[in-house]
Amino acid sequence: MIIIKTPEEIQLMRKAGEILAKCHQEIAKMIKPGLTTMVINDFAERFIQEQGAEQVVKGFKGYPFATCTSVNDVIAHGFPNEEPLQNGDIVKVDIVCRYNGWCADSCRTYPVGTISPEAERLIQVTKECLLLGIEKAVAGNRMGDVMHVVQKHAEGAGFSVVRDLVGHGIGRSMHEEPTFPHVGKPGRGVRLQEGMVFTIEPMINAGKHEMFIELDGWTARTYDGSLSAQFEHTVAITKDGPLVITDGIF
């Protein structure tokens, strides 16, 4: 069942989104070769707590960390560790927090030092996919309308869209209905209506879309070893159009 939020509840969710945006802004200042993803994780957990919010990821189905930090060919759900980031890496940092009972979820891909032209283009196209999807997130459209523009833009640039990891509704819980891949056909899928809140989080690979999960049960990698990028916003459907709850993460 899709849980419809009132305008007042959406405003409450915006506070969680503001905390995440500020957290990403601070992480952006930190990113450099030699930094470890564990340092990023510990900073994000501490920052969220200092804002009077709580991290949501640690403990979810046994996940052991407060963030997902996914480097290069890791698509998502990468474990933070003590391995220093290298010049030319790209790292996805996915964070969820809850404030006064309401959640927000966001991810940003960060370049580390000087990255390759291919990596720069992948990051730019992935960001564009997210923004194009948000433009279609209006009442009366269907989810397929949103995801079709994501898929069309990514594939038109010669990249591929991950199918096996999905976007989702969000509210008092991190994961609510609906769930959906970031590919689709116009006129298909759930019809969007005012009060829906969900993530748009395209995961775009430089190579093929196939992936696999490592033995830890979480870390998702591209099957062909190609780079992967992701940007994610929490988006509400309002009478005035899409409202980006997590505005300001990039």
Q: Is 77 annotated as a binding residue?
A: yes
Contacts for 242 with CB less than 8 Å, ≥ 6 apart = 134, 135, 137, 138, 235, 236
Residue 18: C-alpha distances to residues 140, 162, 195, 210 (Å): 27, 28, 19, 34
Residue carrying the six token digits 């997902």: 68
Ligand-binding annotation for 153, yes or no, is no
Question: Does the annotation place 24 within a ligand binding site?
Answer: no
Which residue in 172, 135, 242 sits closest to 5, CA to CA?
172
* Preceding peptide of 186 cis, ω within 30°: no
Please tell me whether 94 is known to bind a ligand.
yes
Q: Which residue has tokens 């000087």?
A: 114
155 known member of a binding site: no
Asked whether residue 105 is marked as a ligand-binding residue, the answer is: yes
Q: Which residues are annotated as a binding site for a divalent metal cation?
A: 94, 105, 168, 201, 232
Q: Which residues are annotated as a binding site?
A: 77, 94, 105, 168, 175, 201, 232
Q: Which residues are annotated as a binding site for substrate?
A: 77, 175
